[in-house]
Homo-oligomer: A and B are copies of this chain.
Amino acid sequence: MSLVWFNGRLIDGPLPLEAHDRGLLLGDGLFETLLVVNRAALWLHMHLARLEGSANELGIGFDRDAADAAVADLLDQASEVHHVLRLTLTRGPGARGLAGVGGEPTLIATLDAFDAGLMLQPVAMVTASVRRNPASPASRLKTLSYIDNIAAAREAKARGVEEALMLNTRGAAASASIANLFLVKGRTLITPGRDQGILTGVTRQALLAAAHRAGFETKERVVKPAELLTADGVFLTNSLRLIRPVKSLDGKPVGKADLSPLADVLCAAARLQCGRDPRLL
């Protein structure tokens, strides 16, 4: 199934997008991707808060009531157990000129069935040549300008693995192409800090808070790439796959720490009964 909501209503057929919409022309917009389980969108308020904060930073109008209506209209139609709900906000059609004072923003939402496995599926990674730029909004915000992440993902795919390790322009480890990066050392979780050219993922934030409450030590800091090979374990987080262990980096094995305690912590924080749902584990 695939449902589309466009500027206020569910529609059939293609998007009636204005030809000068800056989302399409210039990647001038933002998006959020949410996992829907049993008609509930996971961490909905955190996603909407991030979208609103990023829109304010970029000067794009954000109508929270419209976003709430889009989510409600789509969840109302959800049929399968799992879906992915995507919100796309663009600056809308604009006159020429990059600075872009312009028209009304465009809000699009889609709901698609999601039948991939969600958690704990091991991932092989290679280090991508594309680097993340801490002095760039495209690295920090979830904008429609995603070409660097795409290039990194294509490098990984060309080399036969699922994900790319993206370094930043200073040579430190930053993230994967669509996920945040964590290292496990004993009861300590280490993840690249906010100043490292990373997108601060909602699952990253939820896990940091929940793990801290559960007695883990959490550190946000500079991570050297070589640390991935000496840690007890390395894992990725994102909104659709939650937690996935990294099994290798550039063909070298990565530590096999047991991540199930962290998965339990995350599932509890998300009020997901992961252990009882075979689709979730």
Chain A interfacial positions (CB closer than 8 Å to B): 2, 4, 13-21, 23-28, 31, 58-59, 84, 86, 88, 90, 96-100, 108, 110, 112, 114, 129-133, 135-138, 141, 143-154, 156-157, 169, 177-178
Copies of this chain: 2
B169 touches A133 (CB 8 A): yes
| Minimum distance in angstroms from A130 CB to a CB of chain B | 6
Residues of B contacting A145 in the complex (Cβ-Cβ under 8 angstroms): 27, 138, 143-148
Given that A16-B16, A24-B17, A27-B27 are known contacts, is A99 also in contact with B157, CB under 8 Å in the complex? yes
A26 touches B153 (CB 8 A): no
Residues of B contacting A131 in the complex (Cβ-Cβ under 8 angstroms): 133, 135-136
Given that A16-B13, A16-B16, A138-B138 are known contacts, is A178 also in contact with B98, CB under 8 Å in the complex? yes
| Minimum distance in angstroms from A136 CB to a CB of chain B | 5
Rounded to whole angstroms, the CA-CA distance of A19 and B138 in the bound complex is 22
Given that A16-B14, A16-B16, A24-B23 are known contacts, is A147 also in contact with B156, CB under 8 Å in the complex? no
A146 touches B26 (CB 8 A): yes
Q: Which of A24, A90, A144, A148 has the most CB of B within 10 A?
A: A24
Given that A96-B112, A145-B138, A153-B99 are known contacts, is A19 also in contact with B27, CB under 8 Å in the complex? no
A138 touches B147 (CB 8 A): yes
A177 touches B98 (CB 8 A): yes
Given that A24-B144, A138-B148, A169-B133 are known contacts, is A154 also in contact with B100, CB under 8 Å in the complex? yes
| Minimum distance in angstroms from A96 CB to a CB of chain B | 7
Rounded to whole angstroms, the CA-CA distance of A153 and B94 in the bound complex is 14
Residues of B contacting A110 in the complex (Cβ-Cβ under 8 angstroms): 19-20
Given that A24-B23, A27-B145, A137-B130 are known contacts, is A150 also in contact with B18, CB under 8 Å in the complex? no
Residues of B contacting A148 in the complex (Cβ-Cβ under 8 angstroms): 133, 136-138, 145
| Minimum distance in angstroms from A44 CB to a CB of chain B | 20
15 of the cross-chain contacts (CB-CB < 8 Å) are A15-B18, A17-B24, A19-B110, A27-B145, A98-B152, A98-B154, A98-B177, A99-B153, A99-B154, A99-B157, A133-B133, A133-B169, A137-B148, A144-B147, A145-B147
B135 touches A19 (CB 8 A): no
| Minimum distance in angstroms from A129 CB to a CB of chain B | 7
Q: Which 3 A-B pairs have the closest CB atoms?
A: A27-B27, A145-B145, A98-B153
A147 touches B27 (CB 8 A): yes
A18 touches B14 (CB 8 A): yes
Name the contact of A27 in the complex, choosing from B112, B146, B177 (C-beta under 8 A): B146
